[in-house]
Amino acid sequence: MQRSLLQDDGGPSDILVESHGVLMAVVFVAVLPLSAVIAATFRKAQGSNTWFQVHRTIGIIAALIVVVGLALGIVAWQQSQPASDLLYAHIVIGALIFAFAILQAGTALAAPVRKNASLRRWWRPAHQYNGRLLLLLGLANTFIGIYEAEADNSWYIWVCIVWVAIVGFGVGKAIYNRRSGQVPLAAGSSTPANAATAKANVKAHSSVEMP
């Protein structure tokens, strides 16, 4: 009979599994979604590149947490043989997540300069969609990990509450940006991503007569 990851008959201690789960849940349910929201909604034509510095800093912190969480997960897996089929699925998805995370970090470090429009044409969507895939895989693997660890149902509730709150805030901020005519900046830039659009918006706002 295959034993649970949290059983005491030679398996990893509860604190090891819980530490792995908490670290990974924090990253993929809160830290990375928040970083994505900042990158997507806090780029303003009139602002600075502070959003980019915050986005990059959060990404670095998330990468460090993932490395620690991955190490704990590997130790837990080695101590939980034989593993269930669901645990193997969790491990495979985790390996894919780690690969996509490396790709995401690599594309961020290799971000083409603003003036190289031909490179940015493929780099920006690649970075964005890889990040979205990373978030979805991380969320799915979080639920698998909670189930495999036989954690309390409150874990599911809190994961959903935090994730929906962050994503909901991002959607609301995006709607506000669109209605207020704010123009996003390019990554690492303090100038609008679309200068023509920014100029048109400024002209449109200046033509509105004050009551």
Assess if residue 109 is contained within a domain.
yes
pLDDT in tens, 107-146: 777 766 556 777 777 888 888 888 899 999 999 999 999 9
Assess if residue 171 is contained within a domain.
yes
Assess if residue 6 is contained within a domain.
no
pLDDT exceeds 70 at position 91: yes
Q: Is the dihedral of CA 191, 193, 198, 201 positive or negative?
A: negative
The DSSP code sequence of 4-18 is: PTT-SSSS--HHHHH
Assess if residue 107 is contained within a domain.
yes
User: Average pLDDT for residues 9-31, to the nearest whole number?
Assistant: 82
CA-CA distance, 147 to 150, in Å (whole number)? Answer: 5
Both tokens assigned to 141? 């693997």
188: containing domain: 14-206
Of 59-63, 129-133, 205-209, which range is least confident?
Answer: 205-209
pLDDT at residue 48, as a whole number: 66
Assess if residue 84 is contained within a domain.
yes
Q: Which CATH number is 50's domain given? A: 1.20.120
Assess if residue 68 is contained within a domain.
yes
**Number of domains present in the structure of the chain:** 1
Q: How far is CA 6 from CA 10, 21, 22, 109, in A?
A: 10, 12, 15, 39
CA-CA distance, 171 to 53, in Å (whole number)? Answer: 22
Assess if residue 1 is contained within a domain.
no
Assess if residue 4 is contained within a domain.
no
Q: What is the mean pLDDT of the chain?
A: 78
pTM of the model: 0.73
pLDDT in tens, 148-180: 888 889 999 999 999 999 999 999 998 988 888
